[in-house]
Amino acid sequence: MSLGKPADALGIRRQLEESVPSLASAIDGRRFTFRTSLPGLQLAAGDYVSIGGNRLGYVHTIEPASVDASQLDLPDTPPVGLHVLVAQGRGTVLEGSGEPFHDEPFGTADPEVVAGWIERTRPYRAVLDVGALSRSPSVRFPLDAGGFDRHTFFCGQSGSGKTYALGTVLERLLLETSLRIVVLDPNSDFVRLGQVREGVPTDLADRYRQAAASVVVRRGGTGEARLHVRFTDCDAGEQAAILRLDPIADRSEYSALADMVDTVSASPVTAAQLAQTLATSAEPELAALGARLRNLGIHRWKIWSEGDPGSLQDLVGPGGPRCLVVDIGSLPTPGEQALAAEAVLAALWRRRSDREPVLVVIDEAHNVCPRSPADAVTALSTELAVRFAAEGRKFGLYLLISTQRPQRVHELVVSQSDNLVLMRMNAAGDLAYLSETLSFAPRALLERAMDFRQGEALIAGKIASHPTFVRFGPRIAEEGGSDVPTSWAT
């Protein structure tokens, strides 16, 4: 074959590119590389492929490449030195003999084949029907409910559908398991978790109402559902942090506080009563504590218990609700919000020896366990979150951390996560950080997060049979918070 005129050369190259066979090879039988024709390409990262008729593979990467046509197994002999464009990439063998193979033909797998494999490999325990495969919308992809006995990192930028997706997971955990759940909710997104939305099929709605009857919501304000913390249930370290006491710089007051804790806890009083008692004390150190408490205005915080039952410390203890939603965002001051989160984590950690499985959901976690805490109470909650991450699993305390900015969450919390739900992220730095920190998630799939549409996610870890792309939905319960409408742009 000769090149002839330039136009003929372009035509020849086009014909050769169209005739490139689709072939895959795997030296170890587990990870495969492939090459296929670029013109009319229908294959993409996240697709499932049938290889050689007896293997199922999952595509991680695909990209164009220029190769010497003489290296290709083409039906016609190409001109010497002619380069053509092909599509090549790599992936993982999901099902097969495990033996190496070379130049096996492959093509996009039928959805029925993929669904059949997912069904064959589903765990023996409960699964969560949270959505469908992004590239095969007819195929449902269940999460392994038992996989939530590992810490889970849930992230996505604003507008990615992260809150909606997290709600879907919580609904299915309520519906399909008996796992106890405590949600720290800073934006009132999950306060309606117990309410079924319109349009849900009757049988599913009835099942969910029964499961969601155990949902208890506590909010700032008044009434029986009031969110409150008992000051005397806080230990000396917590009280010192609330009062901004340094054990060295404020050693006299700190020592007086430590001596007072046992006495006060034996006869509980409200924060206002304590402030009044301390202010009139004849002991200078106690009087100084009272002045500090009043000067900081802490005794006026609405979060304090006033003799009413059902403090947060009580609700996370034995006999508490199966699902507790703590509406942190309904509290009026940052100090009260930080205290509510810390009090819940501290109460759970104090009763860790009960070894009762609890999923602790921390939404917008960069506020509760940040890389650089801005105050003493947040520093305590960060320290507790790190303990949960490092040691919590053996006590049945499992974290589900959700955030928009992974690098703002304490690194020791992120690095202990064994599950990942990653939604759209446009920050290349955050994706690079996740790739380095959570190495079980393939880098090539992480990079696709920039192209996700709303509701799409990469799921990896013990909760998934393999890292894959899923589209979440639909919800069962009503959504809580929502974006401000853009009617001003109409």
Closest residue by Cα to residue 406 from 373, 441, 432, 374 = 432
What is the pTM assigned to this prediction? Answer: 0.89
Would the CA dihedral through 413, 415, 421, 422 be positive or negative? Answer: positive
Q: Which token pair is 488?
A: 């001003």
- E-strand ranges in 174-293 read 180-185, 215-219
Give the pLDDT confidence score for residue 419 in this predicted structure: 97
Torsion of CA 276, 280, 284, 288, to 10 degrees: 30
Contact 312, 347 (CB under 8 A): yes
Residue 160 is encoded by which pair of tokens? Answer: 């990615």
C-alpha distances (whole Å) from 289 to each of 235, 250, 256, 283, 378 are: 16, 10, 8, 10, 21
**What is the structure's pLDDT at 74?**
61
**Which pLDDT belongs to residue 445?**
92
> Which three-class secondary structure state does DSSP give residue 223?
coil
**Which residue in 191, 193, 158 sits closest to 403, CA to CA?**
158
In sequence order, which residues have a C-beta less than 8 Å from that of residue 90 and are 6 or more positions away?
31, 32, 33, 34, 59, 60, 61, 444
Distances (CA, A) of 212 to 13, 180, 359, 477, 486: 63, 12, 16, 9, 32
In a 3-state reduction of DSSP, which class is residue 128?
strand
- Which tokens hold the place of 400? 């589900």
User: What's residue 85's pLDDT?
Assistant: 83
Instruction: Give me the pLDDT at residue 47, please.
Output: 94
N-term to C-term CA, the chain:
63
Separation between Cα atoms, residue 364 and residue 189, nearest integer Å = 11
- Outline where 296-420 has alpha helix (H): 312-315, 334-350, 376-391, 411-414
Q: Strand 419-422 to strand 180-185: parallel, antiparallel, or no bridges (unpaired)?
A: unpaired
Decide: 24 and 32 in contact? Cβ < 8 Å: yes
pLDDT the model gives residue 2? 45
State the DSSP code for 140: E
Residue 312 and residue 185 in contact, taking contact as beta carbons nearer than 8 Å = no
Are 463 and 143 in contact, with CB atoms under 8 Å apart?
Answer: yes
pLDDT of residue 274: 77
Q: Show the tokens assigned to 212.
A: 């969601």
Say how far apart CA 458 and CA 449 lie, in whole Å: 7
Residue with tokens 């699964």: 127
Rg of the chain, C-alpha, whole Å: 29
Averages of pLDDT over runs of 10 residues in the chain (490 residues) are 52 75 92 90 92 93 83 63 83 93 94 95 92 93 95 94 95 96 95 93 95 93 88 85 84 79 61 76 80 83 85 89 95 93 95 94 95 94 96 96 95 96 93 91 91 95 95 89 63
Give the pLDDT confidence score for residue 481 in this predicted structure.
64
DSSP 370: B
- What pLDDT sits at residue 1? 44
Q: Are 96 and 54 in contact (CB under 8 A)?
A: yes
- DSSP designation for 380: H
Q: For residue 488, what pLDDT is reported?
A: 61
